[in-house]
Structure 1
Amino acid sequence: MWTILTRPGQSSPHELISFGVAIGKSKSPSTTKIGNANGPRITTEEEVNKQILQHEKSGAGILCQVKTRHGAQASVLTLTKDVVGVVAVLGKVEDDNLSRLFSEYLGVETMLAIVCKTYEGVKALEMYDMEGCINKSVGLHGLGATIGKPLDGRFLVICLESLRPYAGKYVVDDSQRKLDILHPRLPNGECPAGFIGFAVNMINIDNSNLFCVTPSGYGLRETLFYNLFSRLQVYKTRAEMIQALPCISDGALSLDGGMVKSCGVFSLGNREDINVRFPRPERSVGLDAHIEIERQMEDVQSKKEKLLEELKEEKKMLEMAKYNFNKKKSDFLKFLTLSSSSSYAAQVQTAPYAPR
């Protein structure tokens, strides 16, 4: 049986099929948490793989075990050659707190989703007999049985070619090909206080997955992560996030744990520590200093743009003042010309005046 899953806010059949496919039997929510909630922070891809391996009878766990045992050979298997990877290891996040927030927002099931390039790859993972029952001897079920880890319960598979990709522009000269999404605006036209950015642009993606991952030439940011996060906004505090509700359409997070799942849907209560998180990107020596310099340059550029905007407004006001002055002067001279004080008018006309 096939169960179509949706993200909050989707309703049409076309949108329903574009998100992902859940395969297999239903699973109790109590078994979806991986690892110890009080365990160490996950910061490297190796640690993320260890957490995935703890869920050894999941689809992601079985794939991870095959990769660990067989390395490069796993990518040439008919079963796995179309698989890009597991969501949790396809993106990296600079900040541990943001990584926790993103994984909590998506949930363990989505973090462990297997990502395929095409629908042919989805079909290769699970096959059925004439009666429509799962054939446990082939596909990922058969692979799990051969390594002594039979697949247990449902697992998500996301098909990239079936997703509706981001259709807008990209940030110019950005090595990560971030999406050029307009910042939210309050009814008064101002950007809400505390707005940091969009979650989809806070994911770092390996260069190999930035371009042409799908047959249509799209990368992971505009397909996978855009469909997972859409225009999810990130704010500094919960209070600032609440103040920005009028311009939040696809959900929001705050660094202190606030969460709006979608327009009008709030996630309340204590934060859930999900230990399947995005790893932090590896850094070379001196990269931190380089990032800090880039940040300072961005601040200077932002201040420059603000000053130029203010200068532009001041120039408009000056031009308007000159126009009004010259108009009044012209009216005054006409009045003097028509009056009996023609000699006085001549004196005024010859008086020095600053050029326009």
Structure 2
Amino acid sequence: MAYVESKSDCAGSLVMKHLNAMQDQDRHSLMANIIGIVALMGTAPTFELSKLFAEYLGDQMLAVVCRHYEDINLLESYDENGKLNPNFALHMFTRELGQSINDRYLVLCIEEIRVCEADKDVEGKLLFPHPTLPDGSTPAGFLGYAVNMINIEDDHWDTKTASGCGLRETLFYRLFGETQVYETRKDMKRAMSCIKDRAVSMDGGILRGNGAITLGCLEPDVIFPIEPARNRLSENDMRVMKRCRELKLELKETIRELVGKRKSHKSDLERFYERRDLYVRFFVRLSSVGSKKFRSLDSL
């Protein structure tokens, strides 16, 4: 965090300084929906992965993270002519520090991000199928998906959208998508046929997808903090979450069966009404014929 804050020309750095300089009451009332910056939202289990992911994300590492589009008004304001108001919010704060923001910067709003709809395991990792080669095997050197290799930072473990979605299926899925991670460039190249999105390799390969690949070498200034992966849940918590997942699957199956039964019931009911109407019309005609016969007998 100290290194991020030291980048005086960075909007993300100034946002962090602004949050830290505010009193707790002001922070919760005015800036509660400004969550922070990407680089401090998660951690990486190793330096190699942290450096690789930082190279892959580039300037997005210093993107400001907030909740809604409306929260952008806490960062900037414009006049009727569309010109930036330098006497408002973040720009006013930076001027007080003797600094300025002279470039554009990225803001990511988690409530507006299209949520990944993949199922999750008991630890909240997204359950993507392993890539498969034409012969059905998993490519050699495949290590997993980047979005699952980032550990959500402790302070943001409970940061969720209004619908209960966490940072992995919103923010980090927005950043990484289904980017695959391989051991080497050679492994990544051999797996090209089953890389549907993007891929990176531990020796620095970055495949952007759709015909794009990043070459060269870079030592990123800002990387994710290093923290070895650990199990955040007790065995009992994991059992409870596993049982909840099983019950959710059972509920989904029950609902599917119920929908089928309702459709079948509706179809059977329609056939019943059709046959009932036929019988009613038949007995009405029969009754009418019988009445005519009785009247004929009475006239004799």
How high is the TM-score relative to the length of structure 2? 0.72
Q: CA deviation at 1:168?
A: 1.4
| 2:44 aligned to which of 66, 80, 93 | 93
Query: Is the alpha carbon distance of 1:219 and 1:208 closer, same or farther for their aligned partners in structure 2, counting shifts above 3 Å?
Result: farther
Q: CA deviation at 1:112?
A: 0.5
Give the Cα–Cα distance (whole angstroms) in 1 for the partners of residues 135 and 109 of structure 2.
40
Query: Is the alpha carbon distance of 1:70 and 1:233 closer, same or farther for their aligned partners in structure 2, counting shifts above 3 Å?
Result: same
Query: Is the alpha carbon distance of 1:250 and 1:74 closer, same or farther for their aligned partners in structure 2, counting shifts above 3 Å?
Result: farther
Match of 1:297 in 2: none
> Which sections of structure 1, spanning at least 5 residues, go unmatched?
1-48, 292-356
Contact map agreement 1:249 1:263 (CA 8 A) in 2: no
Q: CA deviation at 1:263?
A: 3.5
Q: CA deviation at 1:211?
A: 4.4
How large is the Cα RMSD of the aligned pairs? 2.2
SS in 2 for 1:158: strand
> Which sections of structure 2, spanning at least 5 residues, go unmatched?
233-300
Give the Cα–Cα distance (whole angstroms) in 2 for the partners of residues 133 and 52 of structure 1.
28
Mapped pair 1:272 → 2:218: yes
Match of 1:81 in 2: 32
Mark the structure with the bigger radius of gyration.
Answer: 2
SS in 2 for 1:280: coil
Contact map agreement 2:181 2:200 (CA 8 A) in 1: yes
Query: Is the alpha carbon distance of 1:124 and 1:54 closer, same or farther for their aligned partners in structure 2, counting shifts above 3 Å?
Result: same
How high is the TM-score relative to the length of structure 1? 0.61
Higher relative helix content: 2
Give the Cα–Cα distance (whole angstroms) in 2 for the partners of residues 70 and 57 of structure 1.
20
Aligned residues: 233
Contact map agreement 2:18 2:90 (CA 8 A) in 1: no
Query: Is the alpha carbon distance of 1:282 and 1:245 closer, same or farther for their aligned partners in structure 2, counting shifts above 3 Å?
Result: closer
Q: CA deviation at 1:220?
A: 0.4
Match of 2:57 in 1: 106
| 2:4 aligned to which of 32, 52, 62 | 52
**Displaced runs of 4+ in structure 1, greater than 4 A?**
none
Q: CA deviation at 1:183?
A: 0.8
* Residues 167-316 of structure 1 mapped to structure 2, 5 A cutoff: 167-171=117-121, 173-174=122-123, 177-207=124-154, 209-211=156-158, 213-269=160-216, 271-281=217-227
Give the Cα–Cα distance (whole angstroms) in 1 for the partners of residues 26 and 56 of structure 2.
31
Tell me which amino acid in the other structure corresponds to 2:48.
N
* Residues 112-131 of structure 1 mapped to structure 2, 5 A cutoff: 112-131=62-81
Tell me which amino acid in the other structure corresponds to 2:127.
D
Q: CA deviation at 1:208?
A: 5.1
- Percent of paired sites with the same residue: 38
Q: Residues 306-328 of structure 1, C-alpha deviation per residue, up to 9 Å, x if partnerless?
A: xxxxxxxxxxxxxxxxxxxxxxx
Q: After the TM superposition, which of the residue ranges 260-269 and 189-198 deviates more from structure 2?
A: 260-269
Q: CA deviation at 1:66?
A: 2.6
* Residues 14-53 of structure 1 mapped to structure 2, 5 A cutoff: 49-53=1-5
